[in-house]
Amino acid sequence: MTRPFQILVLSDLHYAGPEERRRVGHEGRAIANPLLRSIARAYRHWIWLRDPFAHNYLLEQVLLQEKDPDLVVANGDFSCDTAFVGHSDEASFQSAVECLARLRAVYGERFRAIYGDHELGKASLFGGKGGLRRVSWDRCVHELGMPPFWHQRIGHYHCIGVVSSLVALPVYRLETLVSERASWELLREEHMEQIREAFETTQSGERILLFCHDPTALPFLLELPEVVAKLSQIERTVVGHLHSPSLLRLSRRLAGLPRINFLGHSVRRMSTALGRAGVWEHFKILLCPSLAGIELFKDGGYWWLTLDLTGKVEVVCHFQPLQWK
């Protein structure tokens, strides 16, 4: 009998290197309104993460415990992005360098990296500072050695990894610099063509495992005829970004929400995503939370995917929670 193939999936590692750890209170400094700053502080303290720099040890736990996967997929967000401009910021870049070096030292050629939104930059939730930067893309590709698109056949499975921020660029466009928009559009066109080709060449007997950091991108994939034609072959789409199963449940309840344009980039972006969240189910999404989860529930961890290489049995998904110190 063929031995099952095991994939270890991590997401939203948000590793904090030395320079980022020195930026205590970075989000508050990006918020000019004192009332909004107080609301943001309370939200981070009680609900999201009280100390975003305090959880590097969770990655170390994984690296010590899980030595023998056949493949490792890290589904994005390798730094804390404390300047909100991705890895064009030196401190964020150094966090990603350190994080990726730790993963590659243990897993070597078995490791695959997916782009998260914080690789390229995004406007801060409350302050509206920052956004995508073209330098961040260049550093990811050329200095961090992160291929923007990858696909790999494993038995009867076709694994495909995409850049959600590119696929969902119509949502992120206003967070780009005007001088860089044409460049981003070109990158998106090239990326979408790679996705089309990968789906088009998927054979009828193959099952698809799709890795996409931000589910905001999924409705845009449905605009590609090649994806629609193979939609029934998608066995799982592994997403991250939401950090906690509680936020996935909330997103499903809010599916169909009208777009809100008057409360800043972040609210516009999130409401746009929720407005089309009803189509996520077509992709059979599996949320990989952040390693830490959120402060309120401390519900982080990672997934093991066990593949029957003959394709006769559906992928078996096992969640491994991580305990906070």
Q: State the Cα–Cα distance between residues 73 and 111, nearest whole angstrom.
A: 6
Question: Which range marks the domain in which residue 180 is found?
Answer: 5-321
Summarize pLDDT for 86-117 with one digit per residue, the tens.
999 999 999 999 999 999 999 999 999 999 99
The confidence score (pLDDT) of residue 267 equals 63
The confidence score (pLDDT) of residue 285 equals 97
Q: Are 286 and 238 in contact (CB under 8 A)?
A: yes
CATH of the domain at 120: 3.60.21
The confidence score (pLDDT) of residue 265 equals 56
The confidence score (pLDDT) of residue 243 equals 97
The confidence score (pLDDT) of residue 234 equals 98
Give the chain's domain count: 1
Angle, vertex CA 39, rays to CA 164 and CA 58, nearest 5: 50
How would you label 2-31 residue by residue, b for 16+ Cβ within 10 Å and e otherwise?
eeebbbbbbbbbbbbbeebbebeebbbebb
Positions of the chain with pLDDT under 50: none
